[in-house]
Amino acid sequence: MPIRTIKPEFWTDEKVVKLSHTARLLFLGLLNQVDNFGLMEWSPLRVKFQVFPGDNIDEKDIEGHSKELEGLGLVRFYGENGNKYLAINNFLKHQRTNTNVVPRCPFPEPGWASLVPGCPSRANDCPSKDSSGKEGKGRERKDIPGQGQGQGGKSPKIDPEELALAQTCFIRFWDEYPRKQKRKRAWEKFWKQKCHEKMKQIMRALAQQKQTEQWRKEEGRFVPLAATWIYNEQWEDEVAVAVAEAGSSRETFRGLAEEED
């Protein structure tokens, strides 16, 4: 569970003082449940067990108090692909987190991760996880795009808007890719090969390849890992698929012509 910062002025904030005691505690609890972008998939039941495990509070109570937070503009709810999500407004303004990671949820609006200018480029100032899984400050992670030593021993800077776009595109890609394994590795390849710059081609090829016999037989047993598919630039196989489909159409046309003769 990530560690969050509560500033002294939180307690006298005009919006916070208008909250009921339970809603105020709920808000504090949500800070620990959201990801590094202030986002989480919304489930009142899950929140009940995460924030109020020993209290006589049910799902309806959670929903009611969350409406308090929403009414005062502290959080917002949004939906995508039939799922409901919560976003804490101004989260990136008040929390210093490592945003050079794959978000768990889609963004509520374009550029959500870049609301704090330059945040992704300050990788060494943001909390990260060490090999034990604990959060640390200033530790470098080799698996995070943009970290590591660049020329002159300095970490290369990342355009926050480009990073946010790439993360959003990756979520879209991952939702469509049929084999859900090694997500982190897939994201590393996706970012490194700048797949967000060729999303139209990638998504068109993916849609076609998902319909091939090779991918559909034996419950998708022969579908490559997403990281492998990206590394080998297998969206270029779209040409081969298109040729195969065109060949099939020609055979069908020839057969119809022979029947007419």
Answer whether 0.75 is exceeded by the pTM.
Answer: no
Confidence of residue 84 (pLDDT cuts 50, 70, 90): very high
| Cross-strand bridge partners of residue 85 | 41, 78
φ, ψ for residue 149, nearest 5 deg: -85, 130
φ, ψ for residue 128, nearest 5 deg: -140, 175
Tens-digit pLDDT profile for residues 105-135: 888 876 665 554 344 333 333 333 333 344 3
Tens-digit pLDDT profile for residues 25-46: 999 999 988 888 889 999 999 9
Domains in the chain, start-ordered, CATH in brackets?
Answer: 8-92 (1.10.10.10), 181-260 (no CATH)
Tokens of 9: 């002025």
